[in-house]
Amino acid sequence: MRARLVELLAEPPAGYRAPEAGRGLVEHAQAHGWLALEEWAAASDGAPFYTVTVGRVAVDEEDRRFGLRWEFRRTWHSWGAAPGGVRLLGSGTAQTPQVPRVHNAPSVRRIMGVISEFPVV
């Protein structure tokens, strides 16, 4: 069994760049006070993928009705994409105060709407 399935990278592999939708999500989250994490990783076959995670803790009572945080994760992968490109892979995952269990994430556009609706003040 392989000891490690992926190697995390701080920068895109040579010839790749972050997708505009992923970078836009990160910038939108940060502009609204949310935390954002970008990760490049290489699968065991060397195919790179890019994951964005954005989230925040629910701080006021109205936001904390059912859960304690928002977290959205979306991944873009190079499998089947043009050389140097990546495309959205699956639906991603989400956790929200309203639905604290892990579930399918909404679209990147809808995630940006949630961020706008619940900025960190």
pLDDT tens for each residue of 59-99: 665 555 556 889 999 999 998 888 888 999 899 999 998 88
> Is the pLDDT score of 116 beyond 70?
yes
The per-residue pLDDT of the chain, averaged, comes to 86
- Provide the H-helix boundaries in 1-121: 20-31, 108-117
| Residue 46 to residue 43: CA distance in whole angstroms | 5
Q: Report which DSSP code applies to 61.
A: T
d(CA 29, CA 47): 27
Whether 48 and 86 have beta carbons less than 8 Å apart is answered as yes
Q: What is the pTM of this model?
A: 0.85
d(Cα 20, Cα 44) in Å, to the nearest integer? 25
Cβ atoms within 10 Å, residue 29: 24
pLDDT at 4: 46
Asked whether 16 and 49 are in contact (CB, 8 A), the reply is no
- Please determine, for residue 119, whether its predicted confidence score (pLDDT) is greater than 50: yes
Say which residue, 6 or 34, is predicted with more confidence: 34
